[in-house]
Protein backbone atom coordinates (compact mmCIF):
# COMPACT_ATOMS: atom_id res chain seq x y z
CA UNK A 1 0.00 0.00 0.00
CA UNK A 2 1.21 3.49 -0.77
CA UNK A 3 1.70 5.55 2.38
CA UNK A 4 1.34 9.33 2.61
CA UNK A 5 5.14 9.51 2.72
CA UNK A 6 5.42 7.48 -0.51
CA UNK A 7 3.01 9.90 -2.19
CA UNK A 8 5.01 12.86 -0.94
CA UNK A 9 8.22 11.37 -2.27
CA UNK A 10 6.66 10.64 -5.69
CA UNK A 11 5.24 14.14 -5.91
CA UNK A 12 8.64 15.61 -4.98
CA UNK A 13 10.24 13.57 -7.76
CA UNK A 14 7.70 15.01 -10.22
CA UNK A 15 8.67 18.51 -9.07
CA UNK A 16 12.36 17.66 -9.46
CA UNK A 17 12.93 19.41 -12.78
CA UNK A 18 11.18 22.57 -11.62
CA UNK A 19 13.24 22.64 -8.43
CA UNK A 20 16.49 22.15 -10.36
CA UNK A 21 15.51 25.08 -12.61
CA UNK A 22 14.86 27.22 -9.51
CA UNK A 23 18.20 26.24 -7.99
CA UNK A 24 20.08 27.02 -11.21
CA UNK A 25 18.38 30.40 -11.55
CA UNK A 26 19.53 31.24 -8.01
CA UNK A 27 22.97 29.81 -8.72
CA UNK A 28 23.43 32.08 -11.76
CA UNK A 29 22.55 35.16 -9.70
CA UNK A 30 24.28 34.94 -6.32
CA UNK A 31 24.00 37.88 -3.94
CA UNK A 32 26.07 38.55 -0.82
CA UNK A 33 24.79 38.82 2.76
CA UNK A 34 22.21 41.60 3.27
CA UNK A 35 22.21 42.32 -0.50
CA UNK A 36 19.77 39.54 -1.46
CA UNK A 37 17.28 41.89 -3.14
CA UNK A 38 16.81 40.06 -6.45
CA UNK A 39 16.96 36.69 -4.69
CA UNK A 40 14.12 37.81 -2.41
CA UNK A 41 12.12 39.06 -5.41
CA UNK A 42 12.55 35.70 -7.15
CA UNK A 43 11.53 33.68 -4.08
CA UNK A 44 8.46 35.88 -3.63
CA UNK A 45 7.52 35.32 -7.28
CA UNK A 46 7.83 31.53 -7.11
CA UNK A 47 5.80 31.31 -3.89
CA UNK A 48 3.10 33.69 -5.08
CA UNK A 49 2.74 31.77 -8.35
CA UNK A 50 1.83 28.74 -6.23
CA UNK A 51 -0.70 30.75 -4.22
CA UNK A 52 1.43 30.68 -1.08
CA UNK A 53 0.87 33.54 1.36
CA UNK A 54 3.82 35.89 1.97
CA UNK A 55 3.79 36.89 5.63
CA UNK A 56 4.82 40.53 5.25
CA UNK A 57 3.68 41.20 8.79
CA UNK A 58 7.20 40.00 9.64
CA UNK A 59 9.15 42.65 7.74
CA UNK A 60 12.65 41.97 6.42
CA UNK A 61 14.77 44.19 4.20
CA UNK A 62 16.07 41.10 2.40
CA UNK A 63 14.71 37.60 2.83
CA UNK A 64 11.06 36.87 3.52
CA UNK A 65 8.62 34.86 5.60
CA UNK A 66 5.80 32.78 4.09
CA UNK A 67 3.06 30.66 5.60
CA UNK A 68 1.11 27.56 4.66
CA UNK A 69 -1.76 26.01 6.59
CA UNK A 70 -3.54 27.48 9.56
CA UNK A 71 -6.85 26.23 8.13
CA UNK A 72 -7.04 23.76 11.00
CA UNK A 73 -6.14 24.66 14.52
CA UNK A 74 -2.69 23.57 15.60
CA UNK A 75 0.86 24.63 16.36
CA UNK A 76 3.28 26.64 14.22
CA UNK A 77 6.47 24.98 12.98
CA UNK A 78 9.20 26.97 11.21
CA UNK A 79 11.29 25.70 8.28
CA UNK A 80 14.42 27.75 7.71
CA UNK A 81 16.46 28.17 4.52
CA UNK A 82 19.39 30.57 4.12
CA UNK A 83 19.61 32.46 0.82
CA UNK A 84 22.96 34.31 0.63
CA UNK A 85 26.14 33.64 -1.37
CA UNK A 86 29.88 34.17 -0.83
CA UNK A 87 32.55 36.55 -2.19
CA UNK A 88 34.28 33.80 -4.22
CA UNK A 89 35.04 33.65 -7.95
CA UNK A 90 33.35 30.50 -9.27
CA UNK A 91 35.59 27.90 -10.94
CA UNK A 92 33.14 25.09 -11.70
CA UNK A 93 32.81 25.66 -15.45
CA UNK A 94 29.11 24.73 -15.16
CA UNK A 95 26.72 26.01 -17.84
CA UNK A 96 24.72 27.74 -15.09
CA UNK A 97 27.76 29.15 -13.25
CA UNK A 98 27.56 32.51 -11.50
CA UNK A 99 27.02 35.50 -13.78
CA UNK A 100 28.15 37.86 -11.02
CA UNK A 101 31.95 38.20 -10.97
CA UNK A 102 33.49 37.47 -7.58
CA UNK A 103 30.25 36.06 -6.13
CA UNK A 104 29.21 32.45 -5.88
CA UNK A 105 26.79 30.10 -4.15
CA UNK A 106 29.78 28.17 -2.82
CA UNK A 107 28.00 26.95 0.30
CA UNK A 108 24.94 25.64 -1.53
CA UNK A 109 22.42 28.06 -0.01
CA UNK A 110 20.78 28.03 -3.46
CA UNK A 111 20.11 24.33 -2.81
CA UNK A 112 18.62 25.09 0.62
CA UNK A 113 16.37 27.80 -0.82
CA UNK A 114 15.17 25.58 -3.68
CA UNK A 115 14.57 22.69 -1.24
CA UNK A 116 12.47 24.93 1.03
CA UNK A 117 10.49 26.19 -1.96
CA UNK A 118 9.96 22.54 -2.93
CA UNK A 119 8.74 21.76 0.59
CA UNK A 120 6.41 24.76 0.37
CA UNK A 121 4.94 23.53 -2.93
CA UNK A 122 4.43 20.04 -1.48
CA UNK A 123 2.83 21.33 1.72
CA UNK A 124 0.61 23.74 -0.21
CA UNK A 125 -0.93 20.76 -2.01
CA UNK A 126 -1.76 19.23 1.38
CA UNK A 127 -2.74 22.50 3.02
CA UNK A 128 -6.35 21.50 3.83
CA UNK A 129 -5.07 18.60 5.95
CA UNK A 130 -2.15 20.32 7.67
CA UNK A 131 -2.61 20.11 11.45
CA UNK A 132 -1.33 23.64 12.04
CA UNK A 133 0.85 26.20 10.28
CA UNK A 134 4.22 25.86 8.57
CA UNK A 135 6.13 29.14 8.57
CA UNK A 136 8.98 29.33 6.05
CA UNK A 137 11.93 31.50 7.01
CA UNK A 138 13.92 32.53 3.94
CA UNK A 139 16.79 33.99 5.91
CA UNK A 140 19.39 36.48 4.65
CA UNK A 141 23.04 36.79 5.66
CA UNK A 142 23.85 33.42 7.18
CA UNK A 143 27.46 33.84 6.05
CA UNK A 144 27.80 36.88 8.29
CA UNK A 145 25.87 35.15 11.07
CA UNK A 146 23.66 38.24 11.29
CA UNK A 147 20.58 37.12 9.33
CA UNK A 148 18.96 34.90 11.97
CA UNK A 149 18.94 37.89 14.32
CA UNK A 150 17.02 39.93 11.71
CA UNK A 151 14.44 37.16 11.36
CA UNK A 152 14.04 36.90 15.14
CA UNK A 153 13.74 40.70 15.42
CA UNK A 154 10.93 40.65 12.81
CA UNK A 155 8.86 38.60 15.25
CA UNK A 156 8.74 35.57 12.97
CA UNK A 157 9.42 33.14 15.82
CA UNK A 158 6.32 34.21 17.73
CA UNK A 159 4.08 31.19 18.51
CA UNK A 160 6.64 28.87 16.91
CA UNK A 161 6.88 25.49 18.68
CA UNK A 162 9.93 24.19 16.79
CA UNK A 163 12.28 25.14 13.99
CA UNK A 164 13.90 22.79 11.46
CA UNK A 165 16.48 23.27 8.73
CA UNK A 166 19.22 21.54 6.83
CA UNK A 167 22.62 22.06 5.26
CA UNK A 168 23.90 20.19 2.23
CA UNK A 169 26.88 17.97 3.06
CA UNK A 170 29.34 17.20 0.25
CA UNK A 171 30.95 14.22 2.01
CA UNK A 172 27.63 12.41 2.57
CA UNK A 173 26.21 10.49 -0.39
CA UNK A 174 22.86 11.39 -1.96
CA UNK A 175 20.15 9.46 -0.15
CA UNK A 176 21.64 9.87 3.33
CA UNK A 177 20.72 12.37 6.02
CA UNK A 178 23.04 13.18 8.93
CA UNK A 179 20.88 13.48 12.04
CA UNK A 180 22.38 14.04 15.45
CA UNK A 181 20.93 14.68 18.87
CA UNK A 182 22.96 17.34 20.76
CA UNK A 183 25.83 19.46 19.40
CA UNK A 184 26.27 19.37 15.62
CA UNK A 185 28.16 22.56 14.76
CA UNK A 186 30.51 24.80 16.69
CA UNK A 187 30.17 28.12 18.41
CA UNK A 188 32.21 30.39 16.14
CA UNK A 189 33.61 33.35 18.05
CA UNK A 190 36.22 35.80 16.81
CA UNK A 191 38.85 37.83 18.64
CA UNK A 192 40.99 40.88 18.12
CA UNK A 193 43.94 41.35 20.48
CA UNK A 194 45.72 44.69 20.55
CA UNK A 195 49.17 44.52 22.07
CA UNK A 196 50.35 47.95 23.12
CA UNK A 197 54.10 48.52 23.59
CA UNK A 198 56.29 51.57 23.19
CA UNK A 199 58.04 52.40 19.95
CA UNK A 200 61.77 53.01 19.67
CA UNK A 201 64.72 52.89 17.29
CA UNK A 202 65.34 49.28 16.27
CA UNK A 203 68.94 49.65 17.44
CA UNK A 204 67.86 50.77 20.92
CA UNK A 205 65.22 48.23 22.05
CA UNK A 206 65.88 48.98 25.72
CA UNK A 207 64.31 52.40 25.17
CA UNK A 208 60.97 50.88 24.17
CA UNK A 209 58.66 47.93 24.76
CA UNK A 210 58.59 45.62 21.73
CA UNK A 211 54.98 44.63 20.86
CA UNK A 212 56.19 42.19 18.17
CA UNK A 213 58.10 40.07 20.66
CA UNK A 214 55.13 40.20 23.03
CA UNK A 215 52.69 39.24 20.24
CA UNK A 216 54.90 36.32 19.22
CA UNK A 217 54.90 35.01 22.80
CA UNK A 218 51.15 35.47 23.01
CA UNK A 219 50.59 33.44 19.81
CA UNK A 220 52.72 30.63 21.21
CA UNK A 221 51.11 30.71 24.66
CA UNK A 222 47.62 30.69 23.13
CA UNK A 223 48.39 27.18 21.86
CA UNK A 224 47.96 26.02 25.46
CA UNK A 225 44.44 27.40 25.82
CA UNK A 226 42.88 24.37 24.12
CA UNK A 227 45.61 21.79 24.83
CA UNK A 228 45.96 22.45 28.59
CA UNK A 229 42.43 23.50 29.56
CA UNK A 230 40.06 21.30 27.56
CA UNK A 231 39.74 17.60 28.35
CA UNK A 232 40.54 14.85 25.89
CA UNK A 233 36.87 14.05 25.28
CA UNK A 234 35.88 17.66 24.75
CA UNK A 235 37.14 19.89 22.00
CA UNK A 236 38.10 23.43 21.13
CA UNK A 237 40.05 25.13 18.36
CA UNK A 238 42.00 28.37 18.82
CA UNK A 239 43.45 29.78 15.58
CA UNK A 240 45.36 33.03 15.16
CA UNK A 241 44.80 33.97 11.52
CA UNK A 242 46.16 37.51 11.24
CA UNK A 243 49.13 39.27 12.83
CA UNK A 244 49.92 42.83 11.88
CA UNK A 245 52.62 45.16 13.14
CA UNK A 246 55.34 47.53 12.07
CA UNK A 247 56.13 49.90 9.24
CA UNK A 248 59.87 49.74 8.67
CA UNK A 249 62.97 47.56 9.14
CA UNK A 250 64.59 49.97 11.55
CA UNK A 251 61.70 50.91 13.82
CA UNK A 252 60.28 49.01 16.76
CA UNK A 253 56.56 49.79 16.44
CA UNK A 254 54.27 50.73 19.28
CA UNK A 255 51.60 48.13 18.71
CA UNK A 256 50.70 44.77 17.20
CA UNK A 257 47.25 43.42 16.41
CA UNK A 258 46.28 39.79 16.08
CA UNK A 259 42.93 38.29 15.01
CA UNK A 260 41.50 34.84 14.81
CA UNK A 261 38.73 32.51 15.84
CA UNK A 262 37.73 30.15 18.64
CA UNK A 263 35.46 27.13 18.00
CA UNK A 264 33.73 25.13 20.72
CA UNK A 265 30.78 22.72 20.89
CA UNK A 266 29.65 23.28 24.44
CA UNK A 267 28.66 26.46 26.29
CA UNK A 268 30.67 25.57 29.41
CA UNK A 269 33.82 24.83 27.38
CA UNK A 270 33.20 27.99 25.41
CA UNK A 271 33.17 30.13 28.55
CA UNK A 272 36.25 28.43 29.96
CA UNK A 273 38.22 28.85 26.73
CA UNK A 274 37.27 32.51 26.41
CA UNK A 275 38.29 33.16 30.02
CA UNK A 276 41.65 31.36 29.72
CA UNK A 277 42.30 33.08 26.39
CA UNK A 278 41.97 36.49 28.00
CA UNK A 279 44.09 35.52 31.02
CA UNK A 280 46.89 34.11 28.84
CA UNK A 281 46.97 37.05 26.40
CA UNK A 282 46.87 39.70 29.14
CA UNK A 283 49.29 37.83 31.43
CA UNK A 284 51.94 37.17 28.78
CA UNK A 285 51.80 40.76 27.55
CA UNK A 286 52.11 42.05 31.08
CA UNK A 287 55.11 39.80 31.82
CA UNK A 288 56.89 41.43 28.88
CA UNK A 289 55.96 44.98 29.91
CA UNK A 290 53.32 45.37 27.20
CA UNK A 291 49.56 45.54 27.55
CA UNK A 292 47.07 43.33 25.73
CA UNK A 293 43.43 44.25 25.28
CA UNK A 294 41.19 41.45 24.09
CA UNK A 295 37.98 42.17 22.18
CA UNK A 296 35.50 39.35 21.53
CA UNK A 297 33.51 39.23 18.33
CA UNK A 298 30.72 37.01 19.57
CA UNK A 299 29.51 34.57 16.93
CA UNK A 300 26.67 32.08 16.94
CA UNK A 301 26.48 29.59 19.81
CA UNK A 302 26.79 25.85 19.06
CA UNK A 303 24.07 24.24 16.94
CA UNK A 304 22.50 21.98 19.55
CA UNK A 305 19.73 19.65 18.42
CA UNK A 306 16.64 18.72 20.40
CA UNK A 307 16.43 14.98 21.18
CA UNK A 308 12.73 14.62 20.39
CA UNK A 309 13.04 16.46 17.08
CA UNK A 310 16.04 14.30 16.18
CA UNK A 311 13.81 11.22 16.59
CA UNK A 312 11.14 12.77 14.38
CA UNK A 313 13.80 13.59 11.77
CA UNK A 314 15.02 9.99 11.78
CA UNK A 315 11.47 8.74 11.36
CA UNK A 316 10.94 11.21 8.48
CA UNK A 317 14.09 10.04 6.71
CA UNK A 318 13.12 6.39 7.10
CA UNK A 319 9.56 7.00 5.88
CA UNK A 320 11.03 8.47 2.69
CA UNK A 321 13.52 5.63 2.17
CA UNK A 322 16.50 7.79 3.12
CA UNK A 323 19.32 6.45 5.27
CA UNK A 324 19.61 8.32 8.57
CA UNK A 325 23.19 8.26 9.81
CA UNK A 326 24.91 9.94 12.76
CA UNK A 327 27.28 12.55 11.29
CA UNK A 328 30.53 13.82 12.78
CA UNK A 329 30.04 17.32 14.16
CA UNK A 330 31.41 20.17 12.04
CA UNK A 331 33.71 22.86 13.50
CA UNK A 332 32.06 25.39 11.19
CA UNK A 333 29.53 27.82 12.69
CA UNK A 334 25.86 28.27 11.72
CA UNK A 335 23.56 31.05 12.78
CA UNK A 336 20.67 28.54 12.91
CA UNK A 337 21.95 28.19 16.49
CA UNK A 338 20.36 31.57 17.37
CA UNK A 339 16.89 30.13 16.68
CA UNK A 340 17.67 27.20 18.95
CA UNK A 341 18.28 29.68 21.76
CA UNK A 342 14.61 30.69 21.36
CA UNK A 343 12.79 27.44 20.51
CA UNK A 344 13.71 23.74 20.18
CA UNK A 345 15.32 23.08 16.82
CA UNK A 346 16.73 20.42 14.58
CA UNK A 347 19.43 21.01 11.98
CA UNK A 348 20.29 18.12 9.65
CA UNK A 349 23.11 17.47 7.20
CA UNK A 350 21.79 16.40 3.81
CA UNK A 351 23.92 14.19 1.57
CA UNK A 352 24.78 15.81 -1.77
CA UNK A 353 27.86 13.84 -2.98
CA UNK A 354 29.84 17.02 -3.66
CA UNK A 355 33.35 17.04 -5.12
CA UNK A 356 34.56 19.84 -2.80
CA UNK A 357 33.89 21.08 0.68
CA UNK A 358 31.87 24.22 1.48
CA UNK A 359 33.35 27.59 0.40
CA UNK A 360 35.55 26.08 -2.35
CA UNK A 361 35.53 27.80 -5.80
CA UNK A 362 34.74 24.43 -7.42
CA UNK A 363 32.00 23.60 -4.89
CA UNK A 364 29.14 21.67 -6.51
CA UNK A 365 26.43 19.22 -5.54
CA UNK A 366 24.42 16.38 -7.02
CA UNK A 367 21.03 17.84 -7.86
CA UNK A 368 19.34 14.46 -7.46
CA UNK A 369 19.39 15.30 -3.75
CA UNK A 370 17.11 18.31 -4.31
CA UNK A 371 13.65 16.66 -4.51
CA UNK A 372 14.73 14.38 -1.64
CA UNK A 373 15.57 17.42 0.50
CA UNK A 374 12.23 19.06 -0.37
CA UNK A 375 10.35 15.89 0.59
CA UNK A 376 12.37 15.55 3.81
CA UNK A 377 11.61 19.11 4.95
CA UNK A 378 7.90 18.72 4.13
CA UNK A 379 7.66 15.33 5.84
CA UNK A 380 9.53 16.56 8.91
CA UNK A 381 7.46 19.75 9.20
CA UNK A 382 4.26 17.73 9.07
CA UNK A 383 5.47 15.19 11.63
CA UNK A 384 6.58 17.92 14.00
CA UNK A 385 3.20 19.68 13.62
CA UNK A 386 1.38 16.48 14.51
CA UNK A 387 3.68 15.75 17.43
CA UNK A 388 3.53 19.27 18.89
CA UNK A 389 -0.25 19.30 18.39
CA UNK A 390 -0.61 16.10 20.42
CA UNK A 391 1.65 17.53 23.11
CA UNK A 392 -0.51 20.65 23.35
CA UNK A 393 -3.70 18.58 23.52
CA UNK A 394 -2.15 16.44 26.23
CA UNK A 395 -1.56 19.52 28.32
CA UNK A 396 -5.15 20.77 27.98
NI1 LIG B 1 26.35 27.38 4.55
Averaged pLDDT, groups of 10, the chain, 396 residues long: 91 98 98 98 98 98 97 94 98 97 98 98 96 98 96 97 98 98 95 98 97 98 97 94 97 98 94 97 98 95 97 98 96 96 98 96 98 98 96 81
**Whether residues 277 and 338 fall in one domain:** no
Residue 108 Cα, ligand 1 centroid: separation in angstroms?
A: 6
Residue 143 Cα, ligand 1 centroid: separation in angstroms?
A: 7
Residue 171 Cα, ligand 1 centroid: separation in angstroms?
A: 14
Please state the domain count of the chain. 2
Residue 262 · residue 287 · CB < 8 Å? no
Residue 359 Cα, ligand 1 centroid: separation in angstroms?
A: 8
* Predicted pLDDT at 395: 78
Residue 327 Cα, ligand 1 centroid: separation in angstroms?
A: 16
Domain boundary among 297, 322, 347: 297
Residue 55 Cα, ligand 1 centroid: separation in angstroms?
A: 25
Domain boundary among 297, 323, 349: 297
CATH for 223: 3.30.70.360
CATH for 34: 3.40.630.10
Domain boundary among 245, 270, 297: 297
**Whether residues 60 and 176 fall in one domain:** yes
**Whether residues 320 and 179 fall in one domain:** yes
Residue 31 Cα, ligand 1 centroid: separation in angstroms?
A: 14
* Predicted pLDDT at 394: 82
* Those residues with Cβ within 8 angstroms of residue 290's Cβ, 6 or more apart along the chain or in another chain: 195, 196, 197, 209, 210, 211, 214
**Whether residues 281 and 387 fall in one domain:** no
**Whether residues 155 and 235 fall in one domain:** no
**Whether residues 375 and 226 fall in one domain:** no
pLDDT tens sequence across 183-214 = 999 999 999 999 999 999 999 999 999 999 99
**Whether residues 12 and 84 fall in one domain:** yes
Residue 317 Cα, ligand 1 centroid: separation in angstroms?
A: 21
Residue 391 Cα, ligand 1 centroid: separation in angstroms?
A: 32
Residue 109 Cα, ligand 1 centroid: separation in angstroms?
A: 6
Can you name the residues that pair with 347 across neighbouring β-strands? 165
Say what the pTM is: 0.90
Residue 167 Cα, ligand 1 centroid: separation in angstroms?
A: 7
* Predicted pLDDT at 71: 87
**Whether residues 28 and 173 fall in one domain:** yes
What domain range includes position 243? Answer: 187-297
Residue 166 Cα, ligand 1 centroid: separation in angstroms?
A: 9
**Whether residues 207 and 143 fall in one domain:** no
Residue 8 Cα, ligand 1 centroid: separation in angstroms?
A: 26
Residue 356 Cα, ligand 1 centroid: separation in angstroms?
A: 13
**Whether residues 391 and 333 fall in one domain:** yes
**Whether residues 147 and 204 fall in one domain:** no
Residue 157 Cα, ligand 1 centroid: separation in angstroms?
A: 21
Residue 215 Cα, ligand 1 centroid: separation in angstroms?
A: 33
**Whether residues 203 and 175 fall in one domain:** no
Q: What is the 3-state secondary structure (H, E, C) of the chain?
A: CCCHHHHHHHHHHHHHHHHHHHHHHHHHCCCECCCCHHHHHHHHHHHHHCCCEECCCCCCCCCEEEEEECCCCCCEEEEEEECCEECCCCCCCCCCCCCCCCCECCCCHHHHHHHHHHHHHHHHHCHHHCCCEEEEEEECCCCCCCHHHHHHHCCCCCCEEEEEEEEEECCCCCCEEECCCEEEECEEEEEEEEEECECEECCCHHHCECHHHHHHHHHHHHHHHHHCCCCCCCCEEEEEEEEEECCCCCEECCEEEEEEEEEECCHHHHHHHHHHHHHHHHHHHHHCCCEEEEEEECCCCCEEECHHHHHHHHHHHHHCCCEEECCCCECCCCCHHHHHHHCCEEEEEEECCCCCCCCCCCCCCCCCHHHHHHHHHHHHHHHHHHHHHHHHHHHC
Amino acid sequence: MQTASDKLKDRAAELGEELVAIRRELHRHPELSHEEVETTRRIRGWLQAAGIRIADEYPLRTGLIAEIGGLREGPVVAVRADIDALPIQEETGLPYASEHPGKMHACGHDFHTAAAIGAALLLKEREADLPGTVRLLFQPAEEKATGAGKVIASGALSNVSAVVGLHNKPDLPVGTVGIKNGPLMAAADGFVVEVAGRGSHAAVPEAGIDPIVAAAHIVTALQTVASRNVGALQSAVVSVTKLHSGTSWNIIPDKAVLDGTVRTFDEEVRERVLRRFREVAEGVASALGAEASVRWVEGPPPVNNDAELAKLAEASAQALGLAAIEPSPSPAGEDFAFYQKEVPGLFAFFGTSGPQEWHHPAFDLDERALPLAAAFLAELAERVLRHKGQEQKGRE
